[in-house]
């Protein structure tokens, strides 16, 4: 009986971790910020549909297909870093490398080679910018967000910060349609920091299912799975265990094929879309 009670308690803790701190309103707020990365290539031109007046863009960092917007979120009094996804989703999926690299001190921690390479294009500049922003706005709190490939880069940046720049506080990571990033040791190392990360998935979106599990990739936890019309979500039970097969993984292996679901999160169209400048943000 004691053993059963202990197991139930531990299971409750794990499930509670997935539930705690998820704020759907804030997730919707940041999906708009992420969409703005597809529309804006200069911080001085902030007039897209999703360009929130409370977001103050200070930097647009762009190199080798990676685009990142950094600045200050006056509504939430945090610094933000938002990563754009690939400009061509299908080509990017087709070109994902399944090979892993071990770039960290613990060589058992492995991440997908292409994602890590993309992060190295911009990481030094991003960290320098955070230092400048932190001084300017007198805060060390950071929200990191990204869609698709940008979700992978956002996760790598959060991991980079907690490992090497712990004077900053990651108060939220929001990823939308992120692929798997690394091996089991990466996931375990990421989770030991208790980063308030929320991995949002949408119905039959294909991207969260690459690279495949059978080649040694796992997702970080705290999946939030939205139904087809984004009207309901499920808080998934995946902390410190494999992916929750009742969430996004429930469509595997045959039905996780939708690019439409990948480009539509929380009722916001994501990607290079003519809607960028058709109206003002409200």
Instruction: Work out the burial of residue 117: count CB atoms within 10 Å of its CB; fewer than 13 is exposed, 13-18 middle, 19 or more buried.
Output: middle
In a domain, 248, yes or no: yes
Q: What's the rounded mean pLDDT across residues 108-133?
A: 97
Q: Kindly report the backbone phi and psi dihedral angles of residue 183, in degrees, each rounded to the nearest multiple of 5, phi listed first.
A: -85, -175
In a domain, 211, yes or no: yes
Q: What whole-number distance in Å separates Cα of residue 156 and Cα of residue 144?
A: 10
Helix or strand (DSSP H, E) at 179: none
- Asked if residue 1 has pLDDT above 70, the reply is no
8 A C-beta contact, residue 177 and residue 205: yes
Q: What percent of the chain has pLDDT over 90?
A: 81
Specify the residue for token string 């708009």.
Answer: 32
User: Count of domains in the chain?
Assistant: 1
pTM, rounded to two decimals = 0.91
Q: What is the pLDDT of residue 17?
A: 46
Return the structure tokens found at 104: 């960290």
In a domain, 64, yes or no: yes
What pLDDT band is residue 89 in, cutting at 50, 70 and 90? confident
Q: Which domain holds residue 194?
A: 22-277
In a domain, 16, yes or no: no
Return the structure tokens found at 15: 């499930």
CATH of the domain at 166: 3.40.50.1820
Q: What's the rounded mean pLDDT across residues 27-40?
A: 96
8 A C-beta contact, residue 51 and residue 69: no
Residue 198 burial (CB count, 10 A): 25
Q: What's the rounded mean pLDDT across residues 141-151?
A: 97
In a domain, 130, yes or no: yes
Q: What's the rounded mean pLDDT across residues 110-119?
A: 96
8 A C-beta contact, residue 141 and residue 77: yes
pLDDT tens figures, 184-217:
999 999 999 999 999 999 999 999 999 999 999 9
Q: Is the Cα torsion angle 155, 86, 265, 201 positive or negative in sign?
A: negative
Which candidate, 182, 180, 173, places its Cα nearest to that of 104? 182
- Asked if residue 7 has pLDDT above 60, the reply is no
What pLDDT band is residue 279 in, cutting at 50, 70 and 90? low
What pLDDT band is residue 13 in, cutting at 50, 70 and 90? very low
In a domain, 257, yes or no: yes
In a domain, 233, yes or no: yes
- Asked if residue 273 has pLDDT above 90, the reply is no
In a domain, 13, yes or no: no
């Amino acid at each position: 009986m004691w053993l059963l009670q202990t197991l139930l308690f531990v299971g409750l803790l794990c499930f509670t971790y997935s539930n705690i701190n998820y704020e759907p309103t804030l997730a919707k707020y940041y999906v708009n910020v992420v969409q703005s990365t597809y529309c804006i290539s200069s911080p001085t031109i902030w007039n897209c549909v999703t360009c929130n007046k409370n977001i103050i863009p200070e930097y647009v960092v762009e190199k080798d297909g990676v685009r990142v917007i950094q600045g200050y979120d006056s509504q939430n009094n945090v610094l933000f870093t938002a990563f754009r996804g690939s400009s061509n989703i299908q080509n990017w999926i087709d070109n994902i490398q399944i090979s892993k690299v071990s770039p960290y001190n613990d060589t058992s921690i492995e991440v997908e080679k292409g994602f890590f390479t993309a992060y190295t294009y911009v990481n030094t500049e991003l960290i320098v910018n955070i230092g400048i922003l932190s001084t300017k706005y007198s805060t060390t709190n950071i929200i990191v967000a990204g869609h698709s490939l940008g979700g992978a880069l956002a996760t790598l940046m959060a991991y980079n910060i907690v490992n090497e720049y712990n004077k900053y506080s990651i108060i939220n990571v929001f990823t939308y349609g992120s692929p798997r990033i690394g091996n089991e040791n990466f996931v375990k190392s990421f989770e030991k920091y208790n980063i308030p990360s929320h991995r949002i998935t949408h119905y039959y979106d294909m991207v969260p299912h690459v690279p495949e599990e059978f080649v040694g990739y796992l997702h970080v936890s705290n999946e939030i799975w939205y139904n087809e019309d984004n009207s309901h979500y499920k808080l998934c039970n995946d902390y410190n265990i494999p992916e929750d097969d009742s969430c996004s993984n429930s469509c595997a292996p045959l039905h996780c094929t939708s690019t439409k679901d990948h480009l539509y999160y929380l009722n916001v169209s994501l990607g290079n879309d003519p809607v960028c400048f058709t109206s003002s943000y409200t």
